């Protein structure tokens, strides 16, 4: 049975390490998806092929994303309703952009639900990206699921249930496709708030729907 394993990360550098370790562990690049908040709307360009030798324009966020561009070719910049500007690549992006199946309602939220993630968790993941997080989703078979979860967990994947409880305690009431994107300053504040407190709990629902 195919599983979709999802991890939300507060630290963009850790998410890059997750992608690198997944590939080093033999996970097919085509089964890895990456979506990161890009509140600054930074253009991302990179050089390089199948490793992290690529160099990005600028530094900081741009350099990190450029490094991921050396691992997962095809990074694009776009906006998601209710989330805001992001950079992303992979099958999950193709899903919410409507490749081959028609547009999925709800953008990132709809794509996660289509991939088998429970809707409440999918809402928290989408809100996490809106607030500056980075999401990695991997499609895999049963035999690799535990190893992928361990890799994500070792790099501080968020306990999505605890994070959702925190969101709701601070006024969050659910996914809103009309929500305004956070400013770059607000994203920095959110990342600082959670970065040192991430606890690991990976959601591994069975994949539902049709494979792309």
pTM of the prediction? 0.85
What CA–CA distance (Å, rounded) separates 111 from 118? 11
Q: Which residue has the tokens 């990342």?
A: 191
Mean pLDDT of the chain: 82
What was the pLDDT predicted at 206? 61
What CA–CA distance (Å, rounded) separates 90 from 78? 14
What was the pLDDT predicted at 157? 95
- Checking if the pLDDT of 6 tops 60, the result is yes
Structural contact between residues 145 and 204, judged by C-beta atoms closer than 8 angstroms: yes
What was the pLDDT predicted at 47? 46
What CA–CA distance (Å, rounded) separates 111 from 115? 6
Q: How many CB atoms lie within 10 A of CB 210?
A: 8
pLDDT-derived band of residue 28, with 50, 70 and 90 as boundaries? very high
The lowest-confidence range among 17-31, 40-54, 145-159 is 40-54
- Checking if the pLDDT of 182 tops 80, the result is yes
pLDDT digits (tens, 9 = 90+) for 114-124: 899 999 999 99
Nearest to 22 by CA among 174, 162, 137: 137
Cα distances (angstroms) measured from residue 143 to each of 62, 99, 104, 176: 35, 28, 29, 36
Structural contact between residues 112 and 128, judged by C-beta atoms closer than 8 angstroms: no
What CA–CA distance (Å, rounded) separates 124 from 184? 20
What was the pLDDT predicted at 68? 83
What was the pLDDT predicted at 106? 63
pLDDT digits (tens, 9 = 90+) for 40-90: 877 655 544 333 333 333 346 767 777 787 788 888 888 888 899 999 999
């Amino acid at each position: 049975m195919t599983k979709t394993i999802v991890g939300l990360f507060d630290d963009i550098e850790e998410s890059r390490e997750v992608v690198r370790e997944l590939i080093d562990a033999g996970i097919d690049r085509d089964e890895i998806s990456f979506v990161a908040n890009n509140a600054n709307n930074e253009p991302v360009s990179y050089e390089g092929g199948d490793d992290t030798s690529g160099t990005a324009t600028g530094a900081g966020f741009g350099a990190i994303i450029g490094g991921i561009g050396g691992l997962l070719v095809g990074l694009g910049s776009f906006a998601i309703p209710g989330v805001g500007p992001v950079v992303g690549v992979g099958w999950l992006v193709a899903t919410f952009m409507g490749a081959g199946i028609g547009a999925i309602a709800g953008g990132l939220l709809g794509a996660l639900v289509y991939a088998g993630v429970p809707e409440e968790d999918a809402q928290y993941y989408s809100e996490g990206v809106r607030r500056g997080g980075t999401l990695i989703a991997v499609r895999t078979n049963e035999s690799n699921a535990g190893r992928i979860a361990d890799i994500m967990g070792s790099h501080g994947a968020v306990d999505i249930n605890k994070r959702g409880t925190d969101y709701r305690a601070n006024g969050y009431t659910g996914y809103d496709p009309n929500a305004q994107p956070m400013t770059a300053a607000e994203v920095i504040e959110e990342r600082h708030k959670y970065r040192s407190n991430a606890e690991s709990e990976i959601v591994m629902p069975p994949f539902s729907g049709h494979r792309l």
